[in-house]
Structure 1
Amino acid sequence: MTVKVLVADDHSAIRSGLIMILNNAEGIQVVGEAADGAAAVRQARALRPDVTLMDVRMPGTDGIAATRELVAEGLTEVLVLTTFDLDEYVHAALRAGAAGFLLKSVAAPRLIEAVKLVAAGEGVLAPQVTRRLITAFAASTRDPAPAPHGLDDLTEREREVLGCLGAGLSNAQIGSRLHIGETTVKTHVSRVLTKLDLRSRVQAAILAQETGLAEET
């Protein structure tokens, strides 16, 4: 299956470079590009890409607002790609429902891998971001957060899947640990997100960390 990608960045040279990298990758096709968030939303509605590669700082509608709109409408998975390694952008992107967050310094092979992972329903975070999030979780989860609305509605298997997400496991790793197929894992992840009213598996992983479920896996 070919992964269809929309590239959103206000710098034409950067867009061109990203498009060249992705179009030269096996199994990926860039179907559109946008110079701002509003254009990205319009393009996504028309083209229905599997993944939108989204810059943060853009004129008019920025990448965070566009991500929130795209995810709310269920149009595409969003992988944020930015120059700015700032906590406020990371947290805002994840709260908006982004499936991943990478820096523009990422090597081409890693970018290609990340696009394919996000298209497959995985979450991707830059190593620098992951380390900081873990540190933040360690500080905030000494006393686990109260169980959010919907957590009690999860089945035992869904709680196990949620805990695995919090541990940073991929679908394949979750399937191996719980002795179930990847398709079944994807079904459980989808049900977890729906029951907890979450927009992405990254948000689910954060919740699992905050509530202590990740430590139970």
Structure 2
Amino acid sequence: MTVDSRRVEGSAYPRTVSRVGLVDDHAVVGLGVRALLADHPDLEFVAAEPTVADLLAGGADLDVVLLDLRLADGSSVWQNISRLRQTGAEVLAFTSGDDVDLVRAAARAGIAGMVRKSEDSEHLLEALRHVCRGEVVASTEWAAAVDSDPHAPGLSPRERQVLELYASGEKADRVARLLGVSRETVLDHIRRIRVKYAAVERPAHTKVELYMRAVEDGVLPGPG
């Protein structure tokens, strides 16, 4: 993660400045977040825009982006998160949290956590700092939404590793060498992955479909 090299005196957190952006189509939210971060020199508020496209057009180098999951431009959660993550920024959902399907979609797309807009300012500050340190903000509410997702395939950590490598274009032999296992073990994992996706009615019969599922679930970044 890219951070500014300026030192922060008196901070209990890593002595760097993390750059924060916001995507929310309510201007008052941006004003509030800007005012909040102004008193915390380890967090620099860089930009607020109503859409992801507008934020990216500004070319700012950001460490974390607060993203409202429901935007007026009709953009999809997966598309927005994928585009932001391709820049190297982490994404923290900043939402009312009342739409479980949106929260699940965000989790599959690879967000680092979720903060309700109704939370107090200290909770938001701590969440930003956790994410800027490379940590996940796993609230009970977010975890419950993800765990109850009927479309989640329930892949094991090893299956996710295999899916990431294989769906990105590696051949089974190459995946086996990278993971230090046999080719037969890799093929067995792939079969199990296909079975798990079929069980949640998200079939992945081909390698292209495996790639699509990997992107949908945040295992791989989406296309540029």
TM range (shorter): 0.5 to 0.7
- The TM-score, its normalising length taken from structure 2, stands at 0.59
CA distance in 2, matches of 1:56, 1:130: 17
Quote the residue 1:108 is aligned against: 121
8 Å contact kept, 1:2–1:27: yes
Compared with structure 1, are the counterparts of its residues 131 and 6 closer, same or farther at alpha carbon in structure 2 (3 Å cutoff)? same
**C-alpha separation in 2, matches of 1:83 and 1:119:** 22
Matches of 1:81 and 1:22 in 2, distance apart? 15
| Letter aligned with residue 62 of structure 2 | P
Match of 1:215 in 2: none
Give 1:67's match in structure 2, choosing from 81, 88, 93. Answer: 81
Indicate the SS of the match to 1:66: helix
2:104/2:146 contact within 8 Å kept? no
- 1:1-217 to 2 correspondence within 5 Å? 1-43=16-58, 46-60=59-73, 62=75, 64=77, 65-71=79-85, 73-134=86-147, 147-148=159-160, 150=162, 153-154=178-179
| Structure 2 CA distance for partners of 1:97 and 1:61, relative to 1, 3 Å | farther
Q: How many percent identity over aligned positions?
A: 25
Quote the Cα distance in structure 1 between the aligned partners of 2:127 and 2:51: 22
Give the distance between the partners of 2:133 and 2:141, measured in 1 at CA: 23
Judging changes above 3 Å, is the alpha-carbon distance between structure 1 residues 41 and 125 closer, same or farther for their aligned structure 2 residues?
farther
Partner Cα separation in structure 1 for residue 180 and residue 42 of structure 2: 36
Q: State TM-score, norm by structure 1.
A: 0.60
3-state secondary structure, aligned to 2:84: helix
Secondary structure of the residue aligned to 2:119 is coil
Letter aligned with residue 60 of structure 1: D
- SS of alignment partner, residue 66 of structure 2: strand
Bigger CA drift: 82-91 or 60-69? 60-69
Letter in 2 for 1:47: A
Q: Distance in 1 between matches of 2:40 and 2:25?
A: 23
Instruction: Kindly state the Cα deviation for residue 132 of structure 1 after the two structures are TM-superposed.
Output: 3.9
1:124 partner SS:
coil
8 Å CA contact retained: 2:93, 2:115 = yes
TM-superposed deviation, 1:144: 7.0
Aligned length: 157
Q: Determine which structure has the larger helix proportion and give its number.
A: 1
Q: Secondary structure at the match of 1:39?
A: helix
In structure 1, list runs of 5 or more residues that go unmatched.
Answer: 157-196, 205-217
Work out the CA distance in 2 between the residues paired with 1:29 and 1:149. 34
Contact 1:56 1:62 survives alignment (8 Å):
no
Greater Rg by CA: 2
Alpha carbons of 1:48 and 1:132: their partners in 2 closer, same or farther (altered >3 Å)?
A: same
| Distance apart, 1:120 and its partner CA | 1.2
Name whichever of 17-26 and 47-56 sits farther off: 17-26
Cα deviation, residue 89, structure 1: 0.9
Give the C-alpha shift of residue 131 in structure 1: 3.3
**2:23–2:67: 8 Å Cα contact kept in structure 1?**
yes
CA RMSD of aligned residues (A): 3.3
Secondary structure of the equivalent of 1:122? coil
Q: Deviations over 1:148-167 (max 9, x none)?
A: 562765479xxxxxxxxxxx
The equivalent of 2:205 in structure 1 is none
CA distance in 2, matches of 1:30, 1:62: 24
* Aligned 8 A contact 2:37 2:44 in 1: yes
Contact kept? 2:104, 2:145, Cα under 8 Å? no
